[in-house]
Amino acid sequence: MQCGAAFNVQSFMALIVHKYGGTSMGSTERIRNVAKRVAKWVRAGHQLVVVPSAMSGETNRLLGLAKEVSPEKPGPDALRELDAIAATGEQVSVGLLALALQAEGMASVSYGGWQVPIKTDSAFTKARIVSIDDTRVRADLAEGKVVIITGFQGIDPDGNVTTLGRGGSDTSAVAVAAAMKADECLIYTDVDGVYTTDPRIVPEARRLSTISFEEMLEMASLGSKVLQIRSVEFAGKYRVPLRVLSSFTPWDIPLDEESRSGTLITFEEDEKMEQAVVSGIAFNRDEAKITVMGVPDKPGIAYQILGPVADANIDIDVIIQNISHDGKTDFSFTVHRNDYAKTLDLLTNTVAPATGAAQVMGDPKICKVSIVGIGMRSHVGVASTMFRTLSEEGINIQMISTSEIKTSVVIDEKYMELAVRALHKAFDLDAA
């Protein structure tokens, strides 16, 4: 079990990928600090590839400018331009970091995703990485340089700049680590690891020294934005040793201490993890609920309702169908809040007339709260503890969805923080 350091920091010439998030790159002073930290690793004998994000707030600022110029929901041509605009944030970061390293006396070179190249598909604003050619990077490392590569961006088969979706620098870093078979990928951020829940919402949240890959995957997919879900998928697929840690420790803390800090994502279950029934609580306010009332309860109705939604490229999350009364039933599902208006429109104007539905209703002010833990596989009564806790707080559950290691509920958005705090306590996750 790789509970301590996943690799030996004493070993010479480990290949390490560092990723620094927006807050960690938030000012020129912080960038100089990042450079000092990176230089410490290089001076200890390691080869470093660094993947920074745009400076904090920069991606929002850039996308805000785009919205000022073109307020409508972007069409296919506009998405290409949005990526060209958003990718510039990371472009500035890599240049500044390379300069800061050079000022530290470190040879370093920066690359945009297209220069590496990091090849992606053409799904602008949510492109997927297809391949990474590490020839150039390896040559630089062999010459003793620190290589700085933009997070978040790549290039499609037609030579267009693409971006990987918000939070995508995590994925860039893990993908580079996977492609180069790095000894470890360290995700430096503004918290000192993965917590039982977002520490900004629950101050009593505890840092986990390890979390299993499967749990991390669920936490990320259910709304814990500490890692972008695709980065966790990459780590699992290529078994990338992955650690989340703070960039706000003094840059000169001893390397072995730094390399054991934070949270290690593990690929094997150990005894300690088996004991924790619920490891974490995730929440997501980005969803909206749609209900189709009074549809005929007959074979094919789910397809008649959800088929057109899928055809419109809208992702569907939680789904429930009520028991029927008088041959009619109600059907509810959730979509991303950005797709709410479009989905409501589609159902009201197309699906309802075609199915004979009595009414279409929507509620964008919902949220999804989930408990996650591999211990749920072997313990009964976990969901009922969740439901009891919510009922004691007077919180009405609108929808439920379960899988082997998670239970999610959809509730009124205004109760989100209350629900998360109550569940955190009920499952003994509060720090002692």
Give me the residues that bind ligand ASP (CB under 6 A), please: 21-22, 53-54, 59, 89, 151-152, 166-170
Site for Mg ion in 282-311 (CB under 5 A): none
Q: Does 429 bind ligand ADP (CB under 6 A)?
A: no
The binder of ligand ADP chosen from 124, 195, 213, 340 (CB under 6 A) = 195
Distance CA 289, CA 302 (A): 16
- Cα atoms in the Cβ-side hemisphere of radius 13 Å centred on 10: 0
Token readout for 61 is 């600022």
Which amino acid is present at 408? S
The binder of ligand ADP chosen from 150, 197, 329, 398 (CB under 6 A) = 197
Distance CA 60, CA 359 (A): 38
Q: Which residue is nearest to Mg ion (CB)?
A: 167
SS3 161: strand
SS3 350: helix
Task: Annotate each residue in 51-80 with x if it binds ligand ADP (CB under 6 A) or - if it does not, as one string.
Answer: --x---------------------------
Distance CA 395, CA 422 (A): 11
The residue among 89 and 167 lying less far from ligand ADP, judged by its C-beta, is: 167
Q: Does 414 bind ligand ADP (CB under 6 A)?
A: no
Scanning 71-79, 162-170, 292-300, 353-361 for contacts with Mg ion by CB under 5 A, the matching segment is: 162-170
Residue 89 touches which of ligand ADP, ligand ASP, Mg ion, none (Cβ within 5-8 Å per kind)? ligand ASP
Q: Which residue is nearest to ligand ADP (CB)?
A: 21
Q: Which residues contact residue 197 at a Cβ distance below 8 angstroms, ignoring those fewer than 6 apart?
A: 205, 224, 280, 281, 282, 283, 420, 424, 429
Site for ligand ADP in 251-310 (CB under 6 A): 280
Contacts made by residues 67-76, CB under 8 angstroms, sequence distance 24+: 76/124
Distance CA 233, CA 222 (A): 14
Q: How distant, in Å, are the alpha carbons of 12, 135, 136, 154, 161 from that of 158? A: 40, 21, 21, 12, 9
The binder of Mg ion chosen from 167, 262, 280, 362 (CB under 5 A) = 167
Kindly state the smallest distance separating residue 368's Cβ from ligand ASP, in Å: 21
Kindly state the smallest distance separating residue 243's Cβ from Mg ion, in Å: 15
Q: Which residues contact residue 374 at a Cβ distance below 8 angstroms, ignoring those fewer than 6 apart?
A: 212, 214, 215, 269, 273, 274, 279, 405
The residue among 279 and 329 lying less far from ligand ADP, judged by its C-beta, is: 279
Kindly state the smallest distance separating residue 224's Cβ from ligand ADP, in Å: 4
**What are the backbone dihedrals phi and psi of residue 384, each rounded to the nearest 5 degrees, phi first?**
-65, -35
Scanning 22-30, 60-68, 229-237, 264-272 for contacts with ligand ADP by CB under 6 A, the matching segment is: 22-30
The binder of ligand ADP chosen from 167, 168, 362, 375 (CB under 6 A) = 167
Token readout for 23 is 């807050």
Task: Annotate each residue in 219-238 with x if it binds ligand ADP (CB under 6 A) or - if it does not, as one string.
Answer: -----xxx------------
The residue among 87 and 360 lying less far from ligand ADP, judged by its C-beta, is: 87
Token readout for 101 is 């390293």
Scanning 82-90, 198-206, 354-362, 371-379 for contacts with ligand ADP by CB under 6 A, the matching segment is: 198-206
Kindly state the smallest distance separating residue 165's Cβ from Mg ion, in Å: 11
Site for Mg ion in 20-49 (CB under 5 A): 21
Answer yes or no: are the C-beta atoms of 81 and 179 closer than 8 Å. Answer: no
Kindly state the smallest distance separating residue 55's Cβ from ligand ASP, in Å: 9
Distance CA 277, CA 390 (A): 18
Kindly state the smallest distance separating residue 193's Cβ from ligand ADP, in Å: 7
The separation between CA 132 and the C-alpha centre of its own chain, rounded to angstroms, equals: 21
Which residues contact ligand ADP by CB under 6 A?
A: 21-24, 53, 167, 189-191, 194-195, 197-200, 224-226, 280
Which residues contact Mg ion by CB under 5 A?
A: 21, 167
